[in-house]
Amino acid sequence: MRRTVATAGVLGLGLAAIAGCGGGESKEGDGKASITFWGWAPGYADAVKAFNAAHPDIEVTYQEVQPGAKGGYQKMLNAVKAGNAPCLAQVGYETLPSFAAQGALQNVAKYANDDKGDFQEAAWKSVTLGENVYAAPVDTGPMALFYNKELFDSLGLEPPTTWEEYRAAAKKIHASDPDRFISSPYLDYDYAGLAWQAGAPWFGIDGDAWEVSLASEANEKVAGYWQGLVDDGLISDAPMYDQSWYTGIGRGEIATVVGAVWQAGVIKGGAKDASGKWAVAPMPQWTEGGDEVGNAGGSSTAVLKDCESPEAAWEFAHWMSTDREVFGTLVEKASLFPAATSLLDLPALTSGDPYFGGQKIYEVFAEAAPRVNTDWTWGPVMTKTTADLNDGLGKAWAGKGTISDALGTAQDKTVTALEKQGMQVSSR
């Protein structure tokens, strides 16, 4: 039986130190609150400009930085350590617990709690730990099934509603042509979305304890399903986002992508030759009639540790996530799908998409969003966890190991990483 992690405090390295941080309002000479915001999403600069025009008492300065995984996150953490960090920063949900564990965030619950009802439950949970609120949710990544409708129609296939039907479709598709496959390898947060839907969490919090459960029975079930497709030769060997992947989608050699809403833009941009051939359907279920949905991606506007204007920072962060006109621009420029429940009927989300045969694809995601399984917590060392998991998954998809082994190894290495940070380890 694999180990789980228990800590003297859930965020042992930083929670106690930051829970009481607040800071007063920092005012300029003219009485304005002045805050700086670091991010990278297209449309954020427009949002700041619009906010400043409508809020004379708060001045937001936007600075574009490299995307988080490409250096942005390290820049933010370095600035926190140096004592010159901005008030606000764009931080992905999966990375937020890591920032909290390093003492890089500020608890703004006293300003934010009244706005909890403005957001989807899963999104709100992604920016909170215990009673602490660290950020405003911006967008989410509800998942669905992108599929080559032209190919499915030619084989007399309907979009599968269960994973068993998905397996049956995979066999028929591959039998029709040995160069055709149902899907392709999934890594890190794309794979996490598959586990998320199945109620197979990777981390959990029990009182003051972290639990690590990548190798749980529920995760073994998900791993076993996809391993079966690998063993039957039904999964393409084209890595996701590689040129061979786009080529496979364009040629009809990769028949589906189980992915988040933002994958629509990825597919459209990388496989232009397939325009008009693809469609979107709800995510297949583990049980007939089920309605569980996974999530892949999504980000927040986080309040960093030494922000002296947390109330003003929250006012801007909440406004950017809920203003209809501004978020419409974010949909158009960055393909963001709103975390705010009141924005699911934005015009940008209700029109047909020529690439998908005129289908109003966002309606599928709007129905999926409130069904995202809320029983998911990201861990405190996700960069390490996903790097180790991807190493094992890459080998497993290539037939040089198993997905189950990848999960087990990632769990053991995550436990070791947490132990090195002084966290206690116990058996479960």
pLDDT of residue 5: 45
Of the candidate ranges 6-20, 72-86, 115-129, 391-405, the one whose mean pLDDT is the lowest: 6-20
The CATH 3.40.190.10 portion of the chain extends over 8-140+298-349, 149-295+376-427
pLDDT digits (tens, 9 = 90+) for 258-273: 999 999 999 999 999 9
Q: Who's near 110: CB < 8 A, 6+ residues apart? A: 22
pLDDT of residue 54: 96
Averaged pLDDT score across all residues of the chain = 91
Listed residue (360, 212, 204, 195) closest to 294, CA to CA: 195
Q: How confident is the model at residue 303 (pLDDT cuts 50, 70, 90)?
A: very high
Question: CA dist 180 to 119, 130, 162, 259, Å?
Answer: 40, 47, 21, 19
Annotation: CATH topology of 8-140+298-349: D-Maltodextrin-Binding Protein; domain 2 (3.40.190)
Q: What is the CATH number of domain 149-295+376-427?
A: 3.40.190.10
- Which tokens belong to 171? 């066999």
| CB-based contact 165:183 (threshold 8 Å) | no
pLDDT of residue 18: 36
DSSP 157: P
Q: Is 372 helix (H, G, I), strand (E, B) or coil?
A: strand
